[in-house]
């Protein structure tokens, strides 16, 4: 009887869905609390019912209508197949779920950030390859240098005469047909880089705002901890493995919430406070002193590195190996010193893991950004004023080697810092146990590599492609190392704001510092006389000024000239714009404060 009743109910459901319009029918099927397989069965039955009804009525659509319906159905099927194919390509989707279930949101935030950077560099590579590299291929001259294989590590030799570096790009207007369309490489180069940085600025800004909204002012955060226990389960999950993964993920989230609820506030005596202050002071002095010593060593080594470049390019092994001294030393310092900072954090004995991670991140960011600052000073004030024929290519090769060697040291860090540490903790010193995943050190490795990539885009346009490949390898190496060598954090804690902190560190000081370096390069420095798209100009920005002077002779482009003189180069316009932006920010800040007050009062009413 129950079977017949269920059968009749399904027949009624199919009949009612068949009488709906196409949009209403799709929405109704989507809202059903059934599995995807069941929804597809119902949809197919509805389509069969509609076909039967149309045949029964004898309605024969016209040939044109049949063609349109067939094309729409084929397009919908192709879209569904393509969507499923791309879903299969998202190999990290399942990996992220497993990491979040086993190791918590703190470790998961690192892999989410890495995946975001991977997509970001893919976008960067496509822009540079489409607007710079492909047009340059049309005007490229044959490369007469021989490839030995060492170029993969040094970036010199054969790669010097390829689209990898600034010096290979032409300053001519590319045109394959007489009286046909032309492509000004000077304008393409500076506008591609300029528009790219503007897009990066907007993407970072909106990503930070979105992350801030999710993790700080999301209304769902005030729904109470009971909803985590009572209203989180997804009843559409039927696969046993997916059920176990969801159970583990939910269990980890509940542990994180309970840790916050049961957080203890420790009261220290005066003597204990003084000792803790002394330990903190010692740790900060030691970390700052180590950073200063590292920057000093990098500076003097970079001066010696320039002398090697001035001797010319020799193909002997000794010369090629000497080029790797600076990147190896810089990467060795950036890899080894953070382990020392992490040890200092354990020595300080912070009350929560979050405090330990944020303090360690602050110390590492001071070290890495200081090293990058020293290198930028060396490139812009020493290399750029040297007697080199193409100083931009020298800078591009330096950055290529730094990115490559940093990637190698990142893999070695996983081996020595996690694999060997597991061997030692499980065989020699059993009391140590398995290591925990160092979130601060690994995140700052990503930010450091991304900073070098941004700086190098002007001197090596295809650098984002190299960084994209490196991030893809790092993702899978870190995933394997995490699951085989590391244990979940001993103290489970929730990191709702960590992704926002990563975005903020990527924006400031990383991206804003890169904008400063790029601005000095474009507006202040004189390009090389014998290479690159800006050869013979007083500065890279002079190409835009010359283009505007050319447009002044054409009446159709007077509006472009007006925008350039009255908006882009007008300081008063930017002052007014900045004033408006600050006013809007202040108004939004006041609105947020008012909403916080209202939320507080509503929560008090709920408690009452």
* pLDDT tens figures, 532-571: 899 888 899 998 888 888 888 888 888 888 888 888 888 8
580 inside domain: no
The full length of the chain comes to: 608
φ, ψ dihedrals at 174, nearest 5°:
-85, 125
Those residues of the chain that have pLDDT short of 50 are: 1-5, 58-59, 88-89, 218-223, 313, 315
Residue with tokens 């080199």: 388
- For residue 528, give Cα distances in angstroms to 42, 144, 188, 250, 537: 69, 22, 18, 59, 9
466 in the same domain as 416: yes
14 in the same domain as 118: no
pLDDT for 348: 82
pLDDT for 593: 86
94 in the same domain as 45: no
Give the contacts of 53 (CB within 8 A, at least 6 positions apart). Answer: 18
466 in the same domain as 389: yes
User: Residue 579: in which H helix or E strand, if any?
Assistant: helix 571-607
pLDDT for 6: 52
584 inside domain: no
564 inside domain: no
Count of structural domains within the chain? 2
pTM reported for the whole predicted model: 0.77
Distance between CA 119 and CA 200 in Å, rounded? 12
346 in the same domain as 481: yes
593 inside domain: no
95 in the same domain as 45: no
> Of 486, 510, 537, which residue constitutes the final position of a domain?
537
User: Are 437 and 482 a contacting pair, CB within 8 Å?
Assistant: yes
pLDDT for 557: 83
432 in the same domain as 518: yes
pLDDT for 317: 63
Work out the angle at residue 372's Cα, subtended by the Cα atoms of residues 366 and 376, and round it to the nearest 5 degrees.
140
> Which two tokens mark 251?
């269990």
Beta-bridge partners for 487: 436
> Of 537, 558, 585, which residue constitutes the final position of a domain?
537
57 inside domain: no
pLDDT for 462: 93
User: Are 339 and 418 a contacting pair, CB within 8 Å?
Assistant: no
User: Residue 7: in which H helix or E strand, if any?
Assistant: helix 2-18
pLDDT for 216: 58
pLDDT for 570: 83
> Which two tokens mark 226?
């009971």
Identify each DSSP E strand in 180-281 by its residue range.
Answer: 183-184
Range of the domain at 472: 90-153+168-537
Q: How many CA atoms lie within 13 A of 131 on its CB side?
A: 19
468 in the same domain as 388: yes
43 in the same domain as 189: no
229 in the same domain as 132: yes
551 inside domain: no
The per-residue pLDDT for range 106-142, each reduced to its tens digit, is 788 888 889 889 988 999 999 999 999 988 888 777 7
431 inside domain: yes
138 in the same domain as 7: no
> Of 473, 506, 537, which residue constitutes the final position of a domain?
537
193 in the same domain as 45: no
DSSP annotation of 528 = P
| Helix/strand number for the chain, H first, E second | 23, 2
pLDDT for 218: 47
Q: What is the CA radius of gyration of the chain?
A: 30
592 inside domain: no
* Helix segments in 19-90, DSSP class H: 22-30, 36-57, 63-89
């Amino acid at each position: 009887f129950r079977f017949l009743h269920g059968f009749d109910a399904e027949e009624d459901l199919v009949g009612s869905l068949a009488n709906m319009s196409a949009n209403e029918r799709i929405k109704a099927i989507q809202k059903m609390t059934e599995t995807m397989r069941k929804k597809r069965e119902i949809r197919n039955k509805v389509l069969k019912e509609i076909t039967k009804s149309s045949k029964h009525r004898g309605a024969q659509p016209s040939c044109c209508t049949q063609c349109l319906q067939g094309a729409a159905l084929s397009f919908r099927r192709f879209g569904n197949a393509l969507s499923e194919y791309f879903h299969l390509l998202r190999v990290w989707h399942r990996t992220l779920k497993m990491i979040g279930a086993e190791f918590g949101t703190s470790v998961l935030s690192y892999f989410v950030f890495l995946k975001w950077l991977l997509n970001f560099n893919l976008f960067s590579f496509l822009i540079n390859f489409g607007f710079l590299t492909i047009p340059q291929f049309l005007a490229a001259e044959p490369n007469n240098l021989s490839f030995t294989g060492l170029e993969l590590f040094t970036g010199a030799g054969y790669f010097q005469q390829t689209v990898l570096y600034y010096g290979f790009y032409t300053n001519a207007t590319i045109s394959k047909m007489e009286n046909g369309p032309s492509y000004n490489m000077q304008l393409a180069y500076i506008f591609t880089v300029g528009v790219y940085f503007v897009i990066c600025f907007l993407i970072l800004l909106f990503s930070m705002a979105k992350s801030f909204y999710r993790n700080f002012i999301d209304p769902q955060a005030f729904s109470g901890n009971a909803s985590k226990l009572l209203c989180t389960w997804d009843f559409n999950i039927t696969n046993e493995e997916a059920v176990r993964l969801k159970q583990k993920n939910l269990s980890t989230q509940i542990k994180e919430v309970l840790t916050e609820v049961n957080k203890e506030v420790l009261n220290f005596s005066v003597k204990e406070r003084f000792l803790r202050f002394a330990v903190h002071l010692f740790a900060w002095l030691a970390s700052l002193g180590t950073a200063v010593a590292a920057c000093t060593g990098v500076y003097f080594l970079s001066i010696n590195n320039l002398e090697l470049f001035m001797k010319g390019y020799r193909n002997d092994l000794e010369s090629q190996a000497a080029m790797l001294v600076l990147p190896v030393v810089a990467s060795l310092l950036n890899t080894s010193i953070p382990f020392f900072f992490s040890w200092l954090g354990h020595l300080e004995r912070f009350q929560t893991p979050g405090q330990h991670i944020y303090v360690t991140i602050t110390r590492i960011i001071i070290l890495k950004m200081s090293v990058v600052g020293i290198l930028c000073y060396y490139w812009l004030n020493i290399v750029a004023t040297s007697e080199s024929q193409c100083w931009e290519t020298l800078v591009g090769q330096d950055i290529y080697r730094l990115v490559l060697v940093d990637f190698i040291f990142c893999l070695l860090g996983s081996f020595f810092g996690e694999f060997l540490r597991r061997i030692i903790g499980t065989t020699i010193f059993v009391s140590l146990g398995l290591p925990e995943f160092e979130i601060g050190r690994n995140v700052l490795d990503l930010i450091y590599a991304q900073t070098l990539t941004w700086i190098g885009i002007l001197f090596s346009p295809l650098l984002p492609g190299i960084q994209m490949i490196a991030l893809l390898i790092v993702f899978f190496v870190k995933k394997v190392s995490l699951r085989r060598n590391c244990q979940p954090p001993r103290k489970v804690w929730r990191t709702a704001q960590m992704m926002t902190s990563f975005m903020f560190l990527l924006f400031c000081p990383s991206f804003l510092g890169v904008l400063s370096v790029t601005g000095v390069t474009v507006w202040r420095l004189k390009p090389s006389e014998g290479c690159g798209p800006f050869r013979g100009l007083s500065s890279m920005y002079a190409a835009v000024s010359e283009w505007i002077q050319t447009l002044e002779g054409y009446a159709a482009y007077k509006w472009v000239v007006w925008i350039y003189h009255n908006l882009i180069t007008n300081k008063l316009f930017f002052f007014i714009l900045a004033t408006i932006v600050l006013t809007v920010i202040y108004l939004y800040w006041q609105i947020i404060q008012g909403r916080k007050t209202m939320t507080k009062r509503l929560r008090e009413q709920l408690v009452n």
